[in-house]
Amino acid sequence: MAYTTGIILFALAILISVSLHEFGHMLTAKAFGMKVTRYFVGFGPTLWSFRKGETEYGVKGIPLGGFVKIVGMTPLEEEEEEVTEKDRDRVFWRKPLWQRTVVLAAGSVTHFLLGFIALWILVSFVGVVANPAYAEAVEESEANARVTVAPCVVAVESDAPQGDCAEGQIEGPAYGAGIADGDAVTSVDGTAVTDWDSLLAAVGALTPNEPVEVVVENGGAERTVELTPYAAEVENEDGEVETVARLGVFVYTDPAIEPAMAVGPIDGIPETFSFTGDMFKETFIALGQLPSKIPPLWDAIMGGERGDDTPVSVVGASRLGGEMVQYEQWAMFFMLLVVLNYFIGIFNLLPLLPMDGGHIAIAWYERFRSWVAAKRGRPDPGRVDYLKLMPLTYAVIVLLGGFMLLTITADIVNPITIFN
């Protein structure tokens, strides 16, 4: 139940984020006196709407985003709306370039603000990773199958005593068997384990509620423990819920390397800026590496191992959010939302149609072209013909749609999981 709740909460958070993105466009457009005729959450058939002034507000049937209609963002849109002589100067493209740029960038700025505020709260009052060595430590722990142990887990119809766990939870098998944070699992029921992926495979082959022997190592000393995997519910590649074995462990993070220390609201401001700079840098690196991630995604769909560094869709991110809620990892839940908001904000500013960055690039290109024409004593060439750009726009849409379909498929048939 907690897993499903987490998925719903994460998907809802994304929908709210995208809706606020469009609200940012609308708010700035209205502030500059532009004519805004519609603001809707969702796409498809209208479920409910009302009109206030010249703007219709409402909710549509497919909750996969939202949109705002600003008259004159493109020549095509201006032709679709009835613009009176009184409203002639309120058309988007007639406004100063700086105002148009602000309106177009407002969606991404909204994502940046949401991410920054959430990150500031985490840094100030919860505590997050504060050492760049963290990424290297996680890679090392994955290579050695070192684990962090969950004291409590959510099991399927278990009659085991709850102990100090919350209602609906039981003591984690690994925790109860004496496995400690930082131990490296080297064998599960006779199957050798060398990294996190092989640990996932070995545990996936177990039968819930049947005792097994697990060999762990720490500091060069090995020991064997006996534990009974619990039964957990997960979604399979067909989207159906099935019961699988779990030990109650996840990827190890050394608290000495990853001090989760709250720094307070004042010190949290520069820390948040520092984290934001690092995240922006990593986002640009990730964008540059996207083409190289396509073959691993295809291999994962075809049955190969799913790398933890492969891209995820909204489906995959929501599933990860569900896991985080299930194991009460709320800091990780909100950090994932921060990363997602920063990524969407940056991605949306790429100078390609139909993203906002594409419209910004065209607006500045029009201004530059007019300036060059004036310098040469030639007539103003006017606005860019969007119809000529439609083939390129459709090509971008097809590429993005194909990549989205690829990631969604991988997230369904071979999802990334952080808890085992």
Question: Which residue numbers are catalytic?
Answer: 22
- Supply 370's token pair: 């007019």
- Indicate the burial class of 263 (C-beta count within 10 angstroms; 0-12, 13-18, 19 or more): middle
- Supply 182's token pair: 């930082």
- What span, in angstroms and rounded, lies between the C-alpha atoms of 281 and 77? 36
- What span, in angstroms and rounded, lies between the C-alpha atoms of 263 and 70? 43
Say which residue the tokens 């004593």 belong to: 377
Q: How many residues does the chain have?
A: 420
Q: Are 93 and 71 in contact (CB under 8 A)?
A: no
List 191's β-bridge partners, or say none. 188
Q: Work out the number of other CB atoms within 10 angstroms of the CB of residue 116.
A: 18
- What span, in angstroms and rounded, lies between the C-alpha atoms of 104 and 362? 11
Provide φ and ψ at 220, rounded to 5°.
90, -10
DSSP 30: H
- What span, in angstroms and rounded, lies between the C-alpha atoms of 98 and 110? 18
- What span, in angstroms and rounded, lies between the C-alpha atoms of 108 and 25? 9
- Please provide the distance, in angstroms rounded to a whole number, between the alpha carbons at the two ends of the chain: 17
SS3 296: helix
